[in-house]
Amino acid sequence: MNGINTANEEITRSLEESLNICKQSSRLMQRNLQTGRLMDAFRNCSISLVEMRNSALTPKQYYELYMFNMESLRLLGGTLLETHLNGTHNLMDLYELVQYAGSIVPRLYLMITVGSAYLETPNALVREIMNDLLDMCRGVQHPLRGLFLRHYLLTQTRKGLPLGSEDEEDASRKGTVLDSVKFLVINFTEMNKLWVRIQHLGPIKEFSKRTQERNELKVLVGLNLVRLSQLNLDIDTYRDHVLPAIIEQIIECRDSLAQEYLVEVICQAFSDNMHLQTLDTYFGTVIKLSPSVNVTQLVVAMLNRLTDYVQREYESDSSNEDESETVTEKLGDIKINEEVQQKDEQECPGDKVIPPEYAIQEVLWSHVVEVIQSRSGLPLDCIVSILSSILNFFLRCYPYKPQYADRVFQYINEHIINQPSLRSALHERPLQKSLCAILLLPLTYFPSFSYCLELQNFLPVFNAQDPNLRYDIARMIVQKIIEKGHSLSELTEAQELLGFVSVIIEKKGVDSLDDLQNVALMVHYLNNDDPQIQIEILRSLKDTFIKAGENVKYLLPVVVNRCIFLARNFRIFKCMDWAEKVRLLWEFVNTCINVLYKNGDSLELCLALYLSAAEMADQENYPDFAYEFFTQAFSIYEESVLDSELQYQQLLMIIGKLQKTRNFSVDDYDTLITKCTLYASKLLKKPDQCCGIYLASHLWWQVASGEDSRPFQDPKRVLECLQKSLKIADACMDQLTSLKLFINILERYFYYYDQHCESIIAKHISGLIDLTEQNMRSILISSPADLIASDPRAYASSIWEVANVSVIDSLKNHLERATAYAEKRSEDERWSSIFQ
């Protein structure tokens, strides 16, 4: 009688104090168990369990205390089971015995401990004990204590719950899986009620504190659903018995915290196969939840889960197929292998994983729309978040069927973009970011950009964004195409792509140079094997690029270059009237380069492009266009008169290209090279003149490069060029420069002599060698004072004696190498005559 009174006292101790009491009692209990003193063990265990009535603990503190006591109880339960099995103590007797504990909390913990151990014994009256434990636990209605007590019940009965079917013998004693379902559902219902009750206890001012505490306790309730998912139920049982019972409790409790958490646990704890067959129920439930529940998270969680499921199953199936393909290859049946690969390329993961009778695309989409429309209070960012998830599902599970993804964009167009009431919201930054992310999803997951262009509603959503946002999206589009190597081959595709990208092209200033560079790079991914279509693509590109204003110089060159190479493709492709179409192509090239020319600041670029075009036009035997391009190049050359160094470089480029041409008429070629040589002779600086002319000499001596080529060769002109360059070299005031030029010209003589250019004879060469060596000797023996006397500018160079000596040495070596070359060939009578 004293014990009963003591046990009913309220306990308010610190966690440390309670734990200390529990530790002492637990240690004593363990000793009692070792020495077989069961009654003492029960008594000490009860002392520990009385601390579970401590009212001063927070949920987390209570959890610590609970965890400690669980360890003790498990030791007790294990020992009791062992003693039962070896015949020392009967668990049913002990089950009766512990019911005499003086306080309900210890009493129930002990009953659960003994009862659950009994469940694991053969021939146990499982059904009876299960029902008894459930009923007894109703005795604790204090929310915190009751939740943990029932959590203990869940934990301890895990092994003992029956899994059999009604058909088995002893079903009435052992129970069936449906008894387990009932057990868990009832426990779940009771726990949820305890959990919800916490919200309504205590003063209003502590509402948020209670909410926080309830958040901490939620995993206790969720464990019921986890246990249900661990029963390995068949679909019918889940759909017809489990899910409806759970959902009934969820909806009827009308508590938003509980509803939100428990629906998510349903999503996370049960398998995807079960979800696929109960989507109507799941989404129907979401719609019925309390207004303050965040349903967005619940919809997104299910959509993401199904997306991951399809990806996982598809990869798993694919790796299995890879093995079978290996077997196929061993059989040497390549044809079947190719067919399989062809099929795989077009097969959507969703089609492979989810049977078509589910009509998963329609089901999910209709549910998403229904949730959005039924929950009329949904904020705009939540709607966009849901749409993003369903779009992600369509893109990743059905990447070859853009019609599903397009529904999402259509919805965005109709219900967001074109809603007058949402006009102001569209300019808010967070929503813009969300829409931007949505617009980027197709770029990320479609196998190629072509599929993006099949989204008819994509462009309107894109165009509705602010310019800055459109710019960012356009930039991402270009980057994705380059990264993934997406190739577009149709004219309409290219035109639509340009529609997206124009926001980059039309931006003024220098901020977007990196992005313009990517746009130029992207041009290489707009490819069609038919040059007729390709030229139309390039025309579209040019029409768009013109809008770049000054920045056109960063974009149009790539179009020009691609046109130049396209000319060859026409010849290979040989479509109808291909030669005439190439002529149109060359006119287009000329137009493009003219655009660059008129934009100024890019004359050098234009010159280079004209020369490239001229080169290809000549190779492909369009001499009239090649002539025109060279003429244009000369015009640009003439405009560079203010920069003599640039002019010199440009002229060398022209000489190089012109010398390689093969299809000009003799008259046209002669006209061009004469003009070129004249330009060389008019360069501002004498050394440049000299170099220009002797390099231009090669224009008069083309070299045969194939069977059908007719190289142009005019020995007389070659000699004239060389002799004129000699005169200029001799006229240079700087002796070192003059000597250097002499040596270079000598090498040219050797070259033409080797080529059997008739106008170059041994006498010329031997005379030049003598003259050059004479100049070398005169420099070597002259003193700085003499240099000053003969060349007023030489005074400065004499100061740099070391450099001067170095230059002289290098020239001396150069001359010796040149003459040594000729001497080495003296076995040839022609060459030996040079030195006679």
Partner 1 sequence: MAGKKKHLLKVIILGESGVGKTSIMNQYVNRKFSKDYKATIGADFLTKEVLVDDKVVTLQLWDTAGQERFQSLGVAFYRGADCCVLVYDVNNSKSFETLDSWRDEFLIQASPSNPETFPFILLGNKVDVEEQKRMVSKSKALAFCQARGEIPYFETSAKEAINVQEAFETVAKLALENMDSDDIAADFTDPIHLDMESQKTSCYC
Write out the residues near partner 1 by the rule CB under 8 A. Answer: 2-3, 24, 27-28, 33-36, 39, 42-43, 59-60, 63-64, 66-68, 71, 74-75, 78-79, 88, 97, 100-102, 155, 215-220, 222-223, 225-226, 229, 265, 268-273, 308-309, 312, 316, 319, 322
Task: Name the nearest CA neighbour of 822 among 753, 738, 757.
Answer: 753
Angle between helices 623-639 and 644-659 (to 10 degrees): 170
Token reading at 802: 């070391």
* 112 or 745: CB nearest partner 1: 112
* Helices and strands of the chain, counted as H and E runs: 43, 0
* 3 or 139: CB nearest partner 1: 3
* 269 or 426: CB nearest partner 1: 269
Residue indicated by tokens 């279509």: 533
* Cβ-Cβ contacts under 8 Å for 133 (sequence gap 6 or more): 111, 112, 115, 116, 153, 157
CB of 338 to partner 1, least distance (A): 22
CB of 40 to partner 1, least distance (A): 9
Contact 245, 185 (CB under 8 A): yes
* 222 or 402: CB nearest partner 1: 222
How far apart, in whole angstroms, are the C-alpha atoms of residue 268 and residue 624? 74
DSSP 256-292: HHHHHHHHHHHHHHS-HHHHHTSHHHHHHHHHHS-TT
Identify the three-state secondary structure at position 827. coil
Q: Percent helix, strand and coil across the chain, each rounded to 5?
A: 80, 0, 20
How far apart, in whole angstroms, are the C-alpha atoms of residue 154 and residue 674? 102
How far apart, in whole angstroms, are the C-alpha atoms of residue 437 and residue 461? 12
CB of 549 to partner 1, least distance (A): 45
Strand partners, 580: none
Q: How distant is the alpha carbon of residue 277 from its chain centre?
A: 33
CB of 210 to partner 1, least distance (A): 15
CB of 60 to partner 1, least distance (A): 5
CB of 63 to partner 1, least distance (A): 5
* 35 or 403: CB nearest partner 1: 35
Helical spans, DSSP H, in 682-759:
686-696, 715-731, 735-754
How far apart, in whole angstroms, are the C-alpha atoms of residue 813 and residue 519? 51
Identify the three-state secondary structure at position 488. strand
Contact 518, 479 (CB under 8 A): yes
Identify the three-state secondary structure at position 302. helix
* 219 or 805: CB nearest partner 1: 219
* 316 or 594: CB nearest partner 1: 316
* 163 or 603: CB nearest partner 1: 163
Phi, psi (rounded to 5 degrees) for 526: -100, 95
CB of 266 to partner 1, least distance (A): 11
* 74 or 241: CB nearest partner 1: 74
* 162 or 531: CB nearest partner 1: 162
* 7 or 595: CB nearest partner 1: 7
Token reading at 180: 């387990």
CB of 672 to partner 1, least distance (A): 58
Contact 568, 585 (CB under 8 A): no
* 230 or 826: CB nearest partner 1: 230
Q: What is the CB neighbour count within 10 angstroms for residue 766?
A: 15
CB of 548 to partner 1, least distance (A): 41
* 218 or 542: CB nearest partner 1: 218
CB of 91 to partner 1, least distance (A): 16
How far apart, in whole angstroms, are the C-alpha atoms of residue 368 and residue 272? 18
CB of 85 to partner 1, least distance (A): 13
Task: Name the nearest CA neighbour of 602 among 534, 549, 672, 669.
Answer: 549
How far apart, in whole angstroms, are the C-alpha atoms of residue 361 and residue 371? 15
CB of 484 to partner 1, least distance (A): 19
Contact 666, 697 (CB under 8 A): no
DSSP 574-610: --TTHHHHHHHHHHHHHHHHHHHHHT-S-HHHHHHHH
Task: List Cα–Cα distances, 121 to 157, 165, 174, in angstroms.
Answer: 12, 19, 11
* 213 or 615: CB nearest partner 1: 213
CB of 622 to partner 1, least distance (A): 50
Token reading at 251: 């909806």
CB of 1 to partner 1, least distance (A): 8
